[in-house]
């Protein structure tokens, strides 16, 4: 099985495609240290260097990469989905409104 997804942390919501990923072709997600995490099937083609969802991510959820929130889902993202500018918004430019909404969910 091809090791096609790299995770900075095993618990990250997204991994980085280490090669062009093709819809329906199962790949393995591994940590940067090479530890196997999960087998996944992309639901759409994902180019090298782009992100893939490790699990279903509902709209509004903070997306974790590097073990910390990097943005939030602007639309529902299925497990194996392409995560890019069309469905994620950076927290850096989101303003405080989205950050407050997510913190309220955690309370």
73, 49 contact by CB (below 8 A): no
Confidence bin at 21 (pLDDT 50/70/90): very high
Domain extent at residue 43: 3-106
Report the domain count for the chain.
1
For the chain, give the mean pLDDT. Answer: 88
pLDDT of 5 higher than 70: yes
In this prediction, residues 55-74 reach a mean pLDDT of 93
5, 27 contact by CB (below 8 A): yes
Handedness of CA 89, 25, 67, 47 (dihedral sign): negative
Report the CATH number at residue 43: 2.30.130.110
Write the Ramachandran bin of 49: left for phi over 0, alpha for psi from -120 to 50, otherwise beta.
Answer: left
Kindly report whether the global pTM for this prediction surpasses the value 0.85.
no
What pLDDT digit, counting tens, does each position of 24-42 carry? 999 999 999 999 999 999 9
Handedness of CA 75, 43, 16, 31 (dihedral sign): positive
In this prediction, residues 48-61 reach a mean pLDDT of 96
CA distance 88 to 70: 9
CA distance 106 to 59: 15
């Amino acid at each position: 099985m091809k090791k096609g997804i790299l995770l900075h942390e095993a618990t990250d919501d997204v991994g980085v495609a280490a090669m062009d990923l093709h819809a329906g072709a199962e790949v393995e997600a591994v940590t940067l240290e090479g530890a196997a995490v999960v087998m996944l099937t992309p639901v759409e083609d994902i180019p090298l260097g782009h992100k893939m969802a490790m699990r279903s991510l509902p709209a509004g959820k903070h997306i974790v990469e590097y073990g910390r929130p990097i943005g939030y889902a602007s639309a529902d993202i299925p497990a194996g989905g392409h995560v890019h500018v069309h469905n994620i918004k950076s927290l850096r430019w989101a303003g405080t409104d989205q950050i407050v909404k997510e913190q309220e969910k955690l309370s």
